[in-house]
């Protein structure tokens, strides 16, 4: 697995992530939260993410069932990662925060049907 550096915009938060399958898992999500923040996330196993700096700059947002944990930088507001509700053994990480990877280079990003969440069916 390739190790990636992930930073927020202001640089307060820095993570190292091992993605489960590189950026092949990149996806958008149509749930009410993801649509508004416009994010693209990729999958990392829980033990594949380390906070290098800025743990105290991360803040947590939870909504609806309050199972998923969405983390973002409280200084610049950029989403860094979230622990998934659909699979709590996984993090989603912000593809646009990965050093050296620009979302434009990924082409069409598939959408996941978060509005009809797997845990709600
Ligand atoms: Zn920041």
pLDDT one-digit tens code per residue, 80-115: 999 998 899 999 999 999 999 988 899 999 998 888
Give the integer Cα–Cα distance in Å for 18 and 60.
Answer: 22
Q: For residues 17 and 6, is the Cβ–Cβ distance under 8 A?
A: yes
CA 114 to ligand 1 center in whole angstroms: 26
CA 116 to ligand 1 center in whole angstroms: 31
User: For the segment 42-53, what is each residue's pLDDT rounded down to a tens digit?
Assistant: 999 999 999 999
CA 45 to ligand 1 center in whole angstroms: 23
Which one-letter DSSP state was computed for residue 119? G
Which one-letter DSSP state was computed for residue 120? G
Domain that holds residue 20: 3-120
CATH number of the CATH domain containing 23: 2.170.150.70
The confidence score (pLDDT) of residue 86 equals 85
Between these two residues, 67 and 17, which has the higher pLDDT value? 17
Q: How many domains does the chain have?
A: 1
> Would the pLDDT of 118 be above 60?
yes
The confidence score (pLDDT) of residue 1 equals 54
Mean pLDDT rounded to a whole number for the chain: 93
Tokens 């990965």, residue? Answer: 98
Which one-letter DSSP state was computed for residue 35? H
State whether residue 47 is helix, strand or coil: helix
Q: What pTM did the predictor assign?
A: 0.91
């Amino acid at each position: 697995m390739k190790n990636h550096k992930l930073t927020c915009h202001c640089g307060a938060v820095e993570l190292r992530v091992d993605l489960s399958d590189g950026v092949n898992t990149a996806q958008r999500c149509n749930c009410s939260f993801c649509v508004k923040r416009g994010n693209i996330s990729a999958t990392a196993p829980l033990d594949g993410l380390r906070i290098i700096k800025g743990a105290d700059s991360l803040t947590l947002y939870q909504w609806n069932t309050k199972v998923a944990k969405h983390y973002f930088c409280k200084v610049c507001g950029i989403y860094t990662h979230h622990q998934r509700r659909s699979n709590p053994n996984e993090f989603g990480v912000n593809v646009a925060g990965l050093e050296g990877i620009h979302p434009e280079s990924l082409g069409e990003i598939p959408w996941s049907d978060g509005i009809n969440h797997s845990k709600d069916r």
